[in-house]
Every structure is written in structure tokens, then in C-alpha cells.
Structure 1
Amino acid sequence: MEIMDMAKLNDSQLNQAAEILTDTLNIGYPTLKDAMEEIKELLIPENTLLAAVEGDEVLGWGGILAPEYDGNVFELHPLAVSEKHQDKGTGRAIVEALEKAAREQGGLTIWLGADDEGEEGETSLADADLYDDLPSKLAEFDPGTHQAGFYVKMGYKIIGVMPDANGPGRPDIFFGKKL
């Protein structure tokens, strides 16, 4: 597996990246057209997009957006790994490469937002009254089936929540990590 700049991918590989985005984050990118538009929008010099590639196959990809707060803070967005390559170190390799890129650009902090928008709710923060004793709810946080579990294993901490961001009982959870 090689981690490479997505600007160097050919059209077929960019289509694979779009398919991965649609397959893994279909709430946000329900069609291949939506996913390709997102990639084209993100694929600008201010952002860093990296793909995990094996031969001509794209296994997954992710990005850090243009730095904020005088270059101190980077947003990790998105991270998408094909289902057949999940739980094999692909996502970890991409995130570690993105963290390294952020550090090399002077970043001190990396953050991401992770929507808990599943119909049933995925984390222990879903359907909870986050306006009532939020600290205790955060102390007892359970990622359940949500991708939050991956980020917690990668050393990310909850740095905030936006209650009802995705509808009643569906928060956006903000994670951060010191670089």
C-alpha cells in the first residue's frame, strides 16, 4: 500500500475514490455525481488530499482542509475507506499521513466533526438531552457502531458537540488531537 497525493490519481482512480465516498458516507454523498463534486471541490492547492493505493486500486482516501487560526488548526475531512479494506490499517495509515502533513505545515491541532445521524442513533449521545449535564454524558461516552470508535483509538478526544445538528437527538460530535 502506498499513500499518495490525490492530485496524481488518474480519472479511473478518482472515480474509485468517489465510489468509496458514496459507499461509505452515502448519507452525505448519495450519488456518484455528489461524490465527484465533493472531490473536485476539495482538490485545490490549499487542501491536502491523500489516497491509499495498491497497484491501480484506491483503497481509501482522506484530506485536511486549508489551515485555520493562523495555520495552527487543520480540519480532517473526509476520511473514506472501502469496506473491504476497513479494519486492515488503511484508515490508520491515511490519518497518520494527514497528521504528518498538518505537522509539516505548522499545525498544532487537528479536528473533525462526526455526525451521529443514523436513524437509530449510533453513539451514547444520540437521543440524549445534551443540554442537561453534558460533562457526565461525555465522561460515559460510548461510540457504539459509530466511526467515533476509530478516532478514539487514534488518540482523538471529544472537544465539543452540537446538539440536534442533524435533527432531534442527532448531534455532531467534534473530535480533536494535539499534533
Structure 2
Amino acid sequence: MSGGFNFLLYFGYVFVLAVYAEAFGSYAATFLPSNLYKIGVDVLAILIIVIFTLINFIGPKAVGKSETLIVGIKVAILIAFTFIGFFFIKPELLSISTLPSMGNILTGAALLFLGYEGFGLITNTAEDINKPRKNIPRALYLSMLIVIVIYVAVSIAVVGNLTIPQLQKQQIML
């Protein structure tokens, strides 16, 4: 039974890796000319998988350093985006009457679930953490709290600045 669950977890990580690579390819391809967009998505998705595979082959220190750098850059971008976005919020866009459809809300919830899947990896470092019984729960709760605050702040900045049709036009899923 344990092996079956491990297989499902492994399959889930492969699926999530594909979703993340495709998302990266889609976002990065927006900087390409429109006639190269479709092929660019696939090429960039494959490229990001190859890059991270090579980093894994270099070793754990390279993985740790690159992960810290990437997370730092992402958090800095999100904080700057949110901070600037808060200055331009249109309160009427945050009204309950402008809520998206239930389908869009459920799609957003599914995407949020993918965003939280990585928290289970914190427990993989138990052997490297001082006082793991005390510090792993702290790390889990603190990291989840930080991510919730960032997700909510970004969501408020986006939805407070753009209408639902504008978001859909830009292929941003709610």
C-alpha cells in the first residue's frame, strides 16, 4: 500500500513538473514574436526542464543556491508588483457583484492547490534540521502563512486593477 502511495506521489510530481514547465513556457513565450509563440512555449518548457535537470546533476549545493536565488527573485517581483498595484486599486472592482463565475473560482482553487503542493517537501529535510520535531512544524506554518499573505495581496492587486474580461483577455485564469 505504501508503494502505491509513493507511485501516486511520484506521478503527481511528474504531472506538476509538466504543468510548471508549460506555464513557464507560456509566460516566457509572451516575449517572442506572435508567429513563434506556439513553438516557443514547447521549446522553453523543454529548456527549463533541461536546465533544472543539469542543476540537479551538479549537486545538492547548486540546487540549494539556485532555489534560494529563484525564490528570492520571485518573492521580490511579487512584492514589488503588489506594492505598486495597491496604489492603483479601483475599489469598485473588489465589489462582491464583480465576482467571477463558480467555474473560474474552482479553477483558481485548483491552481492554488498546485502552488501549495511543495510544502510537503519541507519534511524531506528533517535529517538536516536541528530539533526537527520543533522546527519542521514552525517551518510549515510560517511558510504557509507567508505564501497565503503573498497570494492574497497579489490577488487583491490584480483583481482591484483589472476587470474580469481584461484578465480573461490576457489569459490570466481566476
TM-score of the superposed pair, with normalisation by structure 1: 0.29
Q: Please identify which structure carries the higher helix content.
A: 2
Structure possessing the higher relative contact order (Cα contacts under 8 Å, 6 or more residues apart) = 2
TM-score of the superposed pair, with normalisation by structure 2: 0.30
Q: Please identify which structure carries the higher strand content.
A: 1
Structure showing greater radius of gyration is 2
